Structure formats: structure tokens, C-alpha cells
Amino acid sequence: MGVTTHHVESAAQLQWALGNAAKGADVIVMTAAVADYRPAREAKEKLKRGELGAKTSIELVANPDLLAELGKQRKGSTPLLVRVRGRDRGRARERAREARREALRSDRRE
């Protein structure tokens, strides 16, 4: 048994890493989430206040719900998907066990 960690900097990178990781994984634990939105265009350099003025706006586009997409693609309950929200981090192991028990109950019902 092993654990693989992937460090990413964007939702697109995370989506790619999750797609690859899910192929052979039994369990995927997500301890952080990407933002719900991202800028529509990436700035190549710092946006300078002197050039933009006192007020500006940035167009945002929605990021995909990566864990929901993995859930749609999986076969049965594999891989087991566990989302640990910030308020639950102290209970991560307990939540993973609860999720595993629920998956086992689900498998028995199928």
C-alpha cells in the first residue's frame, strides 16, 4: 500500500492529475478544493494599480467540480472518493472510515 501526492497550481493541473491517479486508485482523498471560479484570462505580469486606476474588474469563469466528475466516471464505488473539508480535517481518518463503511454497504446492495 502506498500514498502518492501530487502538487498542482491550477484546477486544470489538478483535473489532469486526478484523471491519471483515478485509473489505478482504490481511494482518493481530497483535503483541499480549488476555488469555484478562476480568471477568464491569465495575466502574464502583475496587474499594476497605476495602470488600471482605482477600480477595475476581472471576468471569472467557473471551475469544474472535480470530485463530482470523478464520481460520474467511476465504476461502482471504486475508487472510493473522500472529501475532507477544512472544518473536518481533524476527523479525516474517521471520515475516511465512515466513507469506506458506506461504500461496503453500497456494494452489498448492488
What one-letter code names the amino acid at 105? Answer: R
Query: What is the overall mean pLDDT for the chain?
Result: 79
Q: What is the pLDDT of residues 70-81, one digit of tens each?
A: 888 877 777 878
Choose among 100, 106, 67: nearest CA to 85. Answer: 67
What pTM value is reported for the model? 0.59
Residue pLDDT, tens place only, 27-61: 887 776 778 899 999 889 998 888 888 888 999 99
